[in-house]
Amino acid sequence: MHFRGSICANLLTWENAMKLGVNNMKSFGFDAESFGFDAELTSRISLASLAVFLLCASTIASTVLKGLPRSNDFSRSASRSDTSSATSIADEWDEVFDTARSVLAKLPDPSRIETTIKDPALRQAVLRAYQSLKTCAKVNRDQNRATKQGILAEFERDFKSVRAEAERGEYQSCAATCSTEEMKCEKDCEAARKKLCACKIIEFGSLVTKCIFG
């Protein structure tokens, strides 16, 4: 490329010199043909000028295109981005259901829930949420996204009932504290640019273990 650029520069210098010589002779009243610059030579100069133009244009275009990324470079970049995003979401799903398993392991069994919680509405709400959490804990990585979303949504609906019942009864103050912690968890999740977090699962575990069985 440097060699071609050098030739281009030299040809431009020669072309300009030839044109300048002819113009100078004309400006002084001399006939260029009397000095050997006949029509054929003038035609050759014009052809040489065209060759110089094409060579230089080719050199410039080649240099510019060399610096541009190829179309398949964009494709590979987009593919890497999509793969990274898909991996991130898969990891977040794993984290959510790993948390479900961890929380479930710390909860009292259903028989203790039935004998300890006196309020029938709260007891039934907690038992339903317990079973939904148990289903979450059984989710594996290979299950499709729609199934995971459905299972998590069912737990969140059941937990909403638990929260509502707890905030009406004797656990109101403790439930409010758990709700505040859950909101902080959601903010931290958003700050970390996560699409999925297990904040409601954690809140359910805290409400049962700290408020009801604490």
Q: What is the pLDDT along the chain (214 residues), one digit of tens a residue?
A: 444 445 444 544 544 544 544 454 445 454 544 444 454 545 554 555 555 445 555 555 455 445 555 545 444 444 454 555 555 788 899 999 999 999 999 999 999 999 999 999 999 999 999 999 999 999 998 999 999 999 999 999 999 999 999 999 899 999 999 999 999 999 999 999 999 999 999 999 999 999 999 9
Within 8 A by CB and 6+ apart from 64, the residues are none
What pLDDT, on the 0 to 100 scale, is given for residue 177? 96
Q: Provide the residue range defining the domain that includes 107.
A: 88-212
Q: Are residues 60 and 104 in the same domain?
A: no
Contact in structure between 92 and 198 (CB atoms under 8 Å): no
In a domain, 131, yes or no: yes
Do 41 and 106 reside in the same domain of the chain?
no
**In a domain? residue 162:** yes
Tell me whether residue 79 is in a domain: no
Residue 194 lies in a domain: yes
One domain for residues 14 and 110: no
Residue whose structure tokens are 């060579």: 55
**Looking at residue 122, what is its pLDDT?**
97
d(CA 197, CA 176): 20
Task: Work out how many domains the chain is built from and give that number.
Answer: 2
pLDDT in tens, 95-129: 999 999 999 999 999 999 999 999 999 999 999 99
Question: Would residue 99 count as lying in a domain?
Answer: yes
pTM given for the model:
0.62
Give the CB-side neighbour count of residue 60, counting CA atoms within 13 A: 8
The predicted pLDDT at position 107 comes to 98
Task: Mark whether 137 and 204 lie in a shared domain.
Answer: yes
Please, what's the largest Cα pairwise distance for the chain? 123
Gap between the Cα atoms of 42 and 114, Å rounded: 108
Residue 82 lies in a domain: no
> So what's the pLDDT on residue 201?
98
Residue among 85, 103, 109 nearest 198 (CA): 103
Looking at the structure, do residues 61 and 92 belong to the same domain, yes or no? no
**80 assigned to some structural domain:** no
